[in-house]
Amino acid sequence: MTTQTPPIRVGLIGLSASAATAWAANAHLPYLLSPTGRSRYTITALLNSSTSAAERAVAAYNLHPSQIKTYGDPAALAADPSVDLVVCNTRVDTHFDTVLPSVKAGKDVFVEWPLAHDTHHARVLAEEIKKAGGRGIVGLQGGAAPVAAKLRQLLEEGRIGKVLSSELRVFGGTNDRAELPDKLAYFAERKYGGNIVAIGVMHTLHLVQSVLGDLASAKADLHLQRPEIPIRDTSSNTITRTIQSEIPDLILVSGRWDESSITQKNATLHYRTRRGQPFSGEPALQWTIHGEKGEIRIVSRDMGFIHVGNPSARVIEIHDFATNTVDKVEWDWEKWQQELPVPARNIGSLYEAFVEAKKSGTPPRYVTFDDAVRRHEQLDGLFADWKP
């Protein structure tokens, strides 16, 4: 007789009806409330800036108040024995303070990327979770994306021979090239840890490296083309002020790979991204992988963040040099993912991978806190010579 494993009890931090990005509502909640999610997880607590804010979130998302405890204090959530996994979706500069008590309490903790607002605090979280015996998950979901698995498969099969170089041209990071909405004004200040380099560039670099392997070296050429940023009040839809930016808006990253089963020694990366919209009619992302025998191309017309799961990037083109023909290879979502909104699909894969690793004791197929520290160190390297 098989005994069914009880669902993992989740405490959500940052599920708010008034959040600037609503990532918890758009990417985490749909999975957790889906049939697949409910079979593995159950939400038992919410933590917001206050208990009343958490209570409002319970009502806003039609959750069951009798089944969910509400908190305004991270220490109180950490002390709750009915919570196994704490999931943090707050602004980057609050990650550390909101999850540290739960980390020290030995709970498993899922933190959206970046893990913390700087590398020092990320290291502290990684060290503390090891001391307390919990598991750490970080929301760098690109490696769990079906497109990444399909690309890796094609490369391991030798479809284009060994990789010689890879190039990306990406637009985005924010919806507009010039201004920012008032709730995202902090994107212009580096101290908060949330900006287009830390979030957009690093998500894309993680996806690339999950396919091609970690870069042996990487450096950036950073430029600030629009130092003055108008801030739009979203309630009145008017520009109310202008601020000075500390964050580059044109980022060029060059890197190289060591020799591996799929990359030639010193295979190169060239990655260019610019904040805001592309030239009219041009795609938001074009990624090519150039090999000895052919070249792979992925085009995403509407969104540079293909780690989220933009459906327009579901076709992979392969140019065979010998025959001068182009084949199209499609990838698809698992059936359970197809029932979710697009932002929740790859995040759902992280939840699934966590359950698998927890049950089987096998190495995790998600980004751990230690992995995230290495990504933070890579981010520091990109900013090494930056002076706004």
Predicted confidence (pLDDT) per residue in 56-65, tens digit: 999 999 999 9
Predicted confidence (pLDDT) per residue in 100-159, tens digit: 999 999 999 999 999 999 999 999 999 999 999 999 999 999 999 999 999 999 999 999
The pLDDT value given to residue 20: 59
pLDDT band at 2; cut points 50, 70, 90: very low
Predicted confidence (pLDDT) per residue in 177-232, tens digit: 999 999 999 999 999 999 999 999 999 999 999 999 999 999 999 999 999 999 99
Per-residue pLDDT, averaged over 15-28, amounts to 84
Domains of the chain, with CATH numbers? 8-139+341-368 (3.40.50.720), 142-332 (3.30.360.10)
pLDDT band at 304; cut points 50, 70, 90: confident
Whole-angstrom Cα distance, residue 346 to residue 369? 18
Q: H/E element holding 244?
A: strand 238-244
The pLDDT value given to residue 314: 84
The pLDDT value given to residue 84: 98
Q: Has this prediction a pTM greater than 0.85? A: yes
Whole-angstrom Cα distance, residue 144 to residue 146? 7
How would you write 23-90 as a 3-class SS string?
HHHHHHHHHHCCHHHHHHEEEEEEECCCHHHHHHHHHHCCCCCCCCEEECCHHHHHCCCCCCEEEECC
Task: Indicate whether 312 pLDDT > 80.
Answer: no
Predicted confidence (pLDDT) per residue in 337-379, tens digit: 999 999 999 999 999 999 999 988 888 999 999 999 999 999 9
Predicted confidence (pLDDT) per residue in 248-262, tens digit: 999 999 999 999 999
Fill in the amino acid letter for 178.
A
The answer to whether 373 and 379 have CB atoms below 8 angstroms apart is no
pLDDT band at 19; cut points 50, 70, 90: low
Task: Indicate whether 167 pLDDT > 60.
Answer: yes
Give, in degrees to the nearest 5, the angle at Cα 20 between 196 and 197.
5
Runs of H (alpha helix) within the chain: 23, 29-32, 35-40, 51-60, 74-78, 95-104, 119-132, 146-156, 202-212, 335-338, 342-360, 369-382
Which of 240-244, 256-260, 290-294, 362-366 shows the lowest per-residue confidence on average (mean pLDDT)? 362-366
The pLDDT value given to residue 303: 87
The pLDDT value given to residue 35: 97
The pLDDT value given to residue 4: 67
The rounded mean pLDDT for the chain is 95
Share of the chain above pLDDT 70, in %: 98
The pLDDT value given to residue 17: 76
Whole-angstrom Cα distance, residue 98 to residue 74? 5
Task: Indicate whether 308 pLDDT > 90.
Answer: no
Which of residues 301 and 98 earns the better pLDDT score?
A: 98
The pLDDT value given to residue 231: 97
The pLDDT value given to residue 306: 81
The pLDDT value given to residue 11: 98
